[in-house]
Structure 1
């Protein structure tokens, strides 16, 4: 397979025909609960699948929760089928299993007619609206935190425990995990995914990879592939990697912070053209970010999709528990970041810290885009930034929703996402989130089982 580099990690040319060495091809999709799923096609049939009608998939593929495959709700049941077609521009050789390839799948009612529940199509659709209305393109880059676990016998039973007692940026933690980390970097390089940096994080057995920024759809695809790489390489090393937000209640959580920028004609237009801006952002940059800040309580069900997500979003944990923003303030849920060597007088991107590793990245980015669009349409303005820990300021700042049920209440009252995300897809997401609330309220320790899923 020929993969040629292009700007932002894209692909110029991908040969459709499967090479003789490849035996199987995985067609991957991410469901509404953020779980990765795949159908595997023998290479001898792959060309027929691609050239004709894809493969059949029950509509319940977008009605499953984190805890069961029983479909949630009444709209997506065992009656009905869609087609899962591979997006050939995303086809890559699997680094840890070179006789296989993987490719992202798009959901269609029939070839040429996208299914309204398809997460990748939802992100494409909202991105197109941003382009058509404002001639803008949103780019994104993810920071992926995860726990590395090892097997141990505890009270006569096998259990998964942290790989080590990491300290933030500990050299010894890095050294101990270096064979695993090297294999991850090599695998990501082979997939043309840019790694900007990696390090040990503050939690026990916790590490982080920061990926390069690129166009939204590619950024989401890269995140999915990176998760696949990290989990698979961990298995090769006899370890288990998990992205769940809060594995140990007495330790820090794991997030998937996303950095957002706006581009026009190849130029970052989130930044102010000169130093006259009070926030270091252009007018459109401020309006877009103001929309995200205004709507973030309603965005949370997309980017923090499990009850366990809210165990992570707590004060004094660098997650952003209060409804505010700040310049390089890691206790704010939205943090503006400056170009290297410039300082806070200029802003190159802003970071949404509430995003976690259980989120469907296509739906999460689509929700952020919707909020930014609303900010542009209504010319929203930012309040003053917060330059200290908001938890030190008493009752001056409102907490973000402290539970998934509270976040859902905000989403239920918010009409901004209905037309942009799609009424039926949004209804399915809400039903699944409500099912998560109901299940985990009765099974409070069940989140521990999710280390195998996320």
Structure 2
């Protein structure tokens, strides 16, 4: 850490001086906990060099925070003891376009002796990316972020327990309709402009299905940067919304019974500059390693749900025939399959990708990319094959027909998904005992907290947590 810290200090001083001259006064240093909440410590910009050299202190107890800010414990984490150091990644230091006077940087977490914190999710994502690189794979990933926007109430005081919040949508146009863009054109312009100014390439933004719902898709990047981008996109949308007198929710289920917010993960595999989705004469265009990588993801999906769908609210969204991918199958351009293969334009040599449909924005994006990579690499190591692709909606098939085709319903509760994660030897090995145990502890605590809650109560309680 010594030489690294010295280099960081010099870079940080130069960066801080430039930012100070541009009017930046504070830097938000963020990490994402195992409940998917973005936590923060902020420092004056003049303290950036000190933070780069020595880190900023924080308690390891945040790894066992739940979405409602309760604290549970695992075998290794919990309680008031201990300290960690947050080290900002200066390569991602970004002036925030929608928060004048502020900058942002994600952090890596180390102990006071300079050793990597075994439960640091960002370091886990980097470790899995390095494993993929060692296997000769270049992975590109990206997230589609969905959110619902409402008018901010005059008071943010929660409604009485016997009342439910009435959401005031600022746009009333039809799903996917141009009307919504017309009604919120200034807002959406500011969202895309802020993201662009922050160095995030926006591929598209459009109205989605549910009332007040939109989606933004950003360009693919290496897995760690993709997870960083997911955090920055969400907080930028939140900031722009506030400046417009609006409030954004990224919760899996904003209103129980309606289509919820997903956060689909896209990925593509390359080797030596060549796409493994464009192999001539190969079935589905996939090179053997791409088949096995995707086969590994498909096989691990029941356990991966505890990573990518980490809240009881997630399972309100995961309903058949809603394009959420609730059956363990894959398909070519099939939006009802949990794993969708996107073939891309035939004349695009770099085209082709896969999409994990099930994930939502309650997920820690670093955990999501790391766990998916681990599952894919396990598939390559064991030569896992893909079954035949499915066409159409598995939800309309009878139980016997799904059984005949080997189509299995993915876990329908967080309890079931957590049980599968607990038994997943490949994910336990990849995550390590401390991180794996902390995730399980948080999931069990979320289950217990909402055990007696009905869907409306779950949606209301989690609506503004993400």
TM-score, with length taken from structure 2: 0.89
Q: CA deviation at 1:374?
A: 0.7
State the partner residue of 1:103: 105
Q: CA deviation at 1:307?
A: 0.7
1:201 corresponds, among 200, 208, 224, to 208
- Seen in structure 2, the aligned counterparts of structure 1 residues 201 and 108 have a Cα distance that, compared at 3 Å, is same
- Residue 41 of structure 2 corresponds to which residue in structure 1? 39
Task: Report the CA distance between 1:273 and its aligned residue.
Answer: 2.2
Residue 303 of structure 1 corresponds to 308
Residue 247 (1) aligns with residue 247 (2): no
* C-alpha deviation, 1:49, in angstroms: 2.2
| Deviation per residue, 1:242-296 (Å, 9 max, x gap) | 1111111232111011111112233322x1420x212221111100000000110
Q: What's 2:63 paired with?
A: 62
**Are 1:216 and 2:223 matched, yes or no?**
yes
Q: 2:461 aligns with which of 432, 445, 449?
A: 449
Offset at 1:411?
A: 1.4
CA 1:280–1:166 in structure 2 vs 1: closer, same or farther (change >3 Å)?
farther
Shift, 1:399, TM fit:
0.7
Task: Return 5+ residue gaps in structure 2 as ranges.
Answer: 1-10
Question: Number of aligned pairs?
Answer: 437
Q: Residues 346 and 221 of structure 1: is their aligned pair in 2 closer, same or farther, counting only changes over 3 Å?
A: closer
Q: How does 1:35-434 map to 2 (within 5 A)?
A: 35-51=37-53, 53-73=54-74, 75-76=76-77, 77-110=79-112, 112-132=114-134, 134-151=135-152, 159-269=166-276, 271-274=277-280, 276-341=281-346, 348-395=352-399, 396=402, 397-434=407-444
Take 1:294 and 1:446, find their aligned partners in 2: how far apart are those partners? 29
Q: Supply the distance in 1 between the matched residues of 2:209 and 2:248 (Cα, whole angstroms).
A: 16
Match of 2:327, SS? coil
Counterparts of 1:422 and 1:342, CA distance in 2 = 42
Contact preservation (8 Å) 2:150, 2:170: yes
Per the TM alignment, residue 141 of structure 1 is displaced from its structure 2 partner at its CA by 1.4
- Answer yes or no: is the 8 Å Cα contact 1:166–1:200 preserved in 2: no
Residues 158 and 392 (structure 1 numbering): CA distance in 2 closer, same or farther, change over 3 Å?
closer
Q: Secondary structure at the match of 1:196?
A: strand
Question: How many Å separate the matches in 2 of 1:32 and 1:152?
Answer: 29
Q: Is the 8 A contact 2:148 2:213 kept in 1?
A: yes
Equivalents in 2 of 1:377, 1:436: separation in Å? 34
Query: Structure 2 vs 1, CA of residues 431 and 422 (structure 1 numbering), >3 Å: closer, same or farther?
Result: same
Equivalent residues of 1:301, 1:407 under 8 A apart? yes
Secondary structure of the residue aligned to 1:441 is: coil
- Tell me if the contact between 1:169 and 1:200 (Cα under 8 Å) persists in the aligned partners: yes
Cα deviation 1:332-361 (Å, max 9, x = unaligned):
010000122569x99711100011011000
Q: Deviations over 1:342-400 (max 9, x none)?
A: 69x99711100011011000001111111101100000000000011111221212111
Computed over aligned residues only, the root mean square deviation of the Cα atoms, in angstroms, reads 2.2
Structure 1 residue 436, shift from structure 2 partner: 0.5
Task: Label 1:410 to 1:166 Cα distance change in 2 as closer, same or farther (>3 A).
Answer: farther
Whole-Å Cα distance in 1 between the matches of residues 113 and 28 of structure 2?
19
Distance between the aligned counterparts of 2:96 and 2:195, measured in 1? 10
Shift of 1:302: 0.4
Q: Name the TM-score, length of structure 1 as normaliser.
A: 0.92
Q: Determine helix, strand or coil for the equivalent of 2:408.
A: coil
